Amino acid sequence: MKYINKSFSIEKVKAQNLAKKFNTPIYCYSYKQLKVNINNFKKNFKYFSPLVCFAIKANTNVNLIREIKKLGLGADVVSIGEMMKALKAGINPKKIVFSGVGKTYAEISYAIDKKILLINAESKSEIIEIEKVAKSKNKIIDIGIRLNPNTDAKTLSQISTGKKENKFGVNKKTFFKLVEYSKNSKNIKLKCLSVHIGSQIVDHKPYEKMLKIVDEIIKKTNHKFQFIDLGGGMGISYDDNNKKLNYKKYSIAIKKILKNHNSKIIFEPGRAIVGNIGVLISKIIYIKENGKKDFIILDAAMNDLMRPALYGANHRIIPALKTSQVSKRIYEFVGPICESTDKFSTIKKFQKLKEKDLIVICDVGAYGMSLSSNYNVRPKPIEILIKGSKINIIKKRQKLIDLI
Ligand SMILES: *Cc1c(COP(=O)(O)O)cnc(C)c1O
């Protein structure tokens, strides 16, 4: 994605032309960037050839998931709906892992019928439920147990999951007990230790800490884990001075613990695969002067992209058409929704904007469309996948009539 003759382009297609053709707002993804991300991920961890399961919740567009599948990834799902989408996209069940703290009987039953690779359990009650379902089907089911390693991921508190106060996984003491419990079960087989300490992690040190704990715990259990599922969380760069996770350093730390354990590594990256492949193209409806700043009122809002309102996340905003005129005003980019948190960003130095101009909100491929809603009875945007100069509509814009 770059400017071609001052016009922001996704591969060979100008954002401007897309807006003209399809109206706004538009979620637009680059296939080339997706391929780069996946190949780069695989390359950096190839030493131990992990099973890479894309975390479906980051982007649930089934046509996009199909492309991700074709590029060799499996899926990490957190609901029956996500499992259905992963299967519909053609992902091999033997490459699907099922995470989450509240899997229901029906979800477990479906997972067993579909013969997925692993159900990663997060509590004793859940293990008992899995046993119950397995017993009723007269089967032995492979499970993982998710450990809460009590490590600070050094990320936004709202997307931190590996500290003891978080609802995810079980603590060390419970983990040991559950390993023992599983050994005596007739209907489950403990195959995996799983962890996932949070999202948008840009420092490798929390991962090193997590790995040290995983290493110690496995040694203590004296159980052979066929898989170690390290979850996702790999952070990307959302702005120019924002660093991203150093894969090499993470990879070296993993290699170290693998000397002690003969296990297959599973990863569950979401954001790292799709975060930077997508932009949200939006049109300025009005510009409203207010003291020192102008409100730039966009046709995209928090219902389309919820991350800023939900966890104060910041997304770069850039003009669709570059000019050399700099505005003297402070711009506050907002949506039309009746909430004060419906605000994307405040920018001091931006190029001079006028009503009907187009802007581009960057890096929205992960947790963008998947977190969108119909709040204020606003239809969800169209989703487009660009391959070179080819425009593929991978999801139509919702029709107002379907919402009424
Ligand atoms: C959300 C989630 C992921 C993906 O997180 P990213 O930060 O997008 O990589 C992976 N595993 C589990 C269990 C999750 O809940």
Mean pLDDT for the stretch of residues 376-389? 98
| Nearest atom in ligand 1 to 234's CA | 9
Do 279 and 137 fall within a single domain? no
What are residue 160's DSSP bridge partners?
198
Report percent pLDDT > 70 for the chain: 100
192 is catalytic: no
Do 89 and 167 fall within a single domain? yes
| Nearest atom in ligand 1 to 146's CA | 13
Q: Using the predicted structure, report yes or no on whether residue 216 has a pLDDT greater than 80.
A: yes
Pocket of ligand 1, candidates 51, 76, 82, 230: which has the most ligand atoms within 8 Å of its Cβ, to mutate?
76
Pocket of ligand 1, candidates 37, 99, 367: which has the most ligand atoms within 8 Å of its Cβ, to mutate?
99
DSSP track, 287-344: EEEETTEEEEEES--TTT--HHHHH-----EEESB--SPBPSSEEEEE-SSSSTT-EE
Condensed to tens digits (0 to 9), the pLDDT of residues 75-92 reads 999 999 999 999 999 999
Q: How far is the CA of 131 from the centre of ligand 1 (A)?
A: 25
Instruction: State how far the Cα of 186 lies from the Cα of 85, in Å rounded to an integer.
Output: 31
Mean pLDDT for the stretch of residues 261-287? 98
Q: Give pLDDT, residue 360.
A: 98
Q: Using the predicted structure, report yes or no on whether residue 242 has a pLDDT greater than 90.
A: no
Q: CA distances (Å), 268 to each of 68, 111, 118, 137, 170, in order?
A: 13, 18, 13, 29, 19
Condensed to tens digits (0 to 9), the pLDDT of residues 91-118 reads 999 999 999 999 999 999 999 999 999 9
pTM for this prediction: 0.96
CATH code for position 127 = 3.20.20.10
Of the residues 238, 271, 304, which one is the last residue of a structural domain?
Answer: 271
Instruction: State how far the Cα of 4 lies from the Cα of 15, in Å rounded to an integer.
Output: 11
Q: Give pLDDT, residue 164.
A: 86
Of the residues 212, 236, 271, which one is the last residue of a structural domain?
Answer: 271
Q: Give pLDDT, residue 399.
A: 97
For the chain, what is the mean pLDDT?
96
DSSP state of 201: B
Q: How far is the CA of 63 from the centre of ligand 1 (A)?
A: 20
Sorting pLDDT into bands at 50, 70 and 90, what band is 403? very high
Q: Is there an atom of ligand 1 within 6 Å of 196 CB?
A: yes
Q: Is there an atom of ligand 1 within 6 Å of 169 CB?
A: no
Pocket of ligand 1, candidates 53, 56, 57: which has the most ligand atoms within 8 Å of its Cβ, to mutate?
57
Q: Using the predicted structure, report yes or no on whether residue 154 has a pLDDT greater than 90.
A: no
Mean pLDDT for the stretch of residues 342-351? 96
Do 319 and 227 fall within a single domain? no
Residue type (1 letter), 110:
Y
Beta strand 278-290 pairing with 293-298: antiparallel
222 CB neighbour count, 10 Å cutoff: 7
What domain range is 9 assigned to? 2-29+275-403
Do 305 and 165 fall within a single domain? no
Instruction: State how far the Cα of 262 lies from the Cα of 211, in Å rounded to an integer.
Output: 15
Sorting pLDDT into bands at 50, 70 and 90, what band is 184? very high
Do 393 and 253 fall within a single domain? no
Do 249 and 316 fall within a single domain? no
Do 159 and 217 fall within a single domain? yes
Q: How far is the CA of 199 from the centre of ligand 1 (A)?
A: 6
Do 240 and 302 fall within a single domain? no
Do 22 and 125 fall within a single domain? no
Do 93 and 104 fall within a single domain? yes
Do 314 and 293 fall within a single domain? yes
DSSP state of 265: E
Sorting pLDDT into bands at 50, 70 and 90, what band is 156? confident
Catalytic member of 53, 192, 338, 362: 338
Q: Is there an atom of ligand 1 within 6 Å of 122 CB?
A: no
Sorting pLDDT into bands at 50, 70 and 90, what band is 165? confident
Q: How far is the CA of 83 from the centre of ligand 1 (A)?
A: 15
DSSP track, 97-158: EE--TT--HHHHHHHHHTT-SEEEE-SHHHHHHHHHHHHHTT--EEEEEEB-------S-GG
**Which backbone phi and psi does 28 adopt, to 5 degrees?**
-130, 130
Residue with tokens 């579909």: 114
Closest alpha carbon to 351 in 328, 370, 376: 328
Mean pLDDT for the stretch of residues 241-245? 83
Mean pLDDT for the stretch of residues 169-190? 95
Of the residues 216, 249, 271, which one is the last residue of a structural domain?
Answer: 271
Q: Is there an atom of ligand 1 within 6 Å of 368 CB?
A: no
What is the token pair recorded at 207? 């991962």
| Nearest atom in ligand 1 to 198's CA | 7
**Which backbone phi and psi does 227 adopt, to 5 degrees?**
-125, 145
What sign does the dihedral 328-334-335-338 (CA atoms) show?
negative
Report how many domains make up the chain. Answer: 2
Q: Is there an atom of ligand 1 within 6 Å of 57 CB?
A: yes
Closest alpha carbon to 224 in 174, 172, 179: 179
Q: Using the predicted structure, report yes or no on whether residue 240 has a pLDDT greater than 80.
A: no
CATH code for position 375 = 2.40.37.10
Do 136 and 167 fall within a single domain? yes
